[in-house]
Amino acid sequence: MVLGTDRLELGEGIRWTDDHAVLTDILSGRLLAAPDDPTAPHTPIARLPCPLGAVAPVEGRPGHWIAAAGTGVCRVDPAGRAEWIARPEDDAPVPMRMNDGVADPQGRFWAGSMAHDATGDAGSLYRLDRDGRVTRVLRDITVPNGPAFTADGTLMYLADSARGVIRRYRVDPASGDLGTPEPFVTLASGSPDGMTTDTEGGLWTAVWGLGQVHRYHPDGALDRIIDLPAAQPAGLCLGGTDGRTLLVTSAHIGLPAPGPFDGAVFAVRVDVPGTPASPYRPTVPSAPAPTDRADTP
C-alpha cells in the first residue's frame, strides 16, 4: 500500500512515534507526518532552512525533536524553530550535511555526516549524549546510513552505502563506547540505506538502486526480499498498532524519468514486529565543547 499522495525528492528518516509515522524530505528540510489515508497528502510538521536528515522525539516534551540537520545537531520546538547544539561539520574541508540518525534505547542520539558531493571518506558518525555532549565516534565514512540498534542497545549496525557494506559494533550500554567493527553484510549490487531491527534481532535495510528491502538474520544470512515499485528505497521503520507494518520511504532524486511511485512511502505487512522509535532522553545539559573520539578508520 502507498501512504499519501506526495512524491518525495529524498524521503528518509521515517520513524514510528506517538501512534503515527514521521519522516523527512532531506534536501527541502521538511519534517512530515505520513497519513493513514492513501488519498491524503503528508502533514507538514516543521521546515528548516537546511537539509534535515532524521529526528528523534524528546522524552517528556511532546512536539520537541532532536534533529540531524545542516552541519550538526539541533533541537526543534513545536513552532519549528531550531536551537543548535553543535555544528561540528562547519569547518570541514568540503561542504557537508548530516544524513541519517536515530536515538538508541539508552536515550542517546546518533547521526552521520556526509559530503554534499559524496566525497570519499569525508563523513563521520556523531553521538549526542544525554548531557548534551556531542562526540565524533567514527570517521572515514563516505555515506553513513542508520545506525540501527538491537532492543537492548548492545549492538549497533551502520551502513556505508557508497561501499555497499553494513558493519556491526558492540556498544557499551553505559558509556556508548563502540567496539571493533565486524563486517555484517556486503551487497553485490545496490546500496544498503536506512535500517531498523525487529524483536527477533533481524535487521531490515532498504536497498537503494534495486527497488528492494532485505531482512537479515542476526548471523547475516538473508531471510527475505521485498520488491517495491520504486527504484530508490531509502528509509524504513516498523510501526503500526502491532509493530508489524514495515514503512519504507523512497526518492526520485537523480532519476531521469521517475515512475509513478518513485518518492512514495510504502506500507507492507510483515510477521515479526518492531518497536516504536526510542526517544532522546536529556539530562540537565552541561553544554561542553564537542570532542573527538574517532580512533577507528
Amino acid making up residue 228: L
145 carries a ligand binding annotation = yes
Mean pLDDT within 258-266: 98
Mean pLDDT within 6-22: 96
Q: Name the pairing type of β-strands 2-3 and 11-17.
A: unpaired
Contact 276, 206 (CB under 8 A): no
Q: Is the dihedral of CA 67, 160, 94, 249 positive or negative?
A: negative
Q: Which domains does the chain have, with CATH numbers?
A: 2-288 (2.120.10.30)
pLDDT score at 37: 86
pLDDT score at 287: 45
What is the tens place of the pLDDT at every residue in 188-225? 999 999 999 999 999 999 999 999 999 999 999 999 99
47 carries a ligand binding annotation = no
CA distance 181 to 111: 17
Q: Check if 104 is active-site.
A: no
CA distance 107 to 130: 7
Percent of the chain residues past pLDDT 90, beyond the cut: 94
pLDDT score at 206: 98
- CA diameter of the chain: 50
- From the list 100, 160, 193, 198, the catalytic residue is 193
What is the tens place of the pLDDT at every residue in 284-296? 654 444 556 665 4
18 carries a ligand binding annotation = no
H/E segment holding residue 192 = strand 191-197
DSSP state of 262: T
37 carries a ligand binding annotation = no
Q: Enumerate residues 6+ apart whose C-beta is below 8 A from 219.
A: none
In this prediction, residue 36 has a pLDDT band, given cuts at 50, 70 and 90, of confident
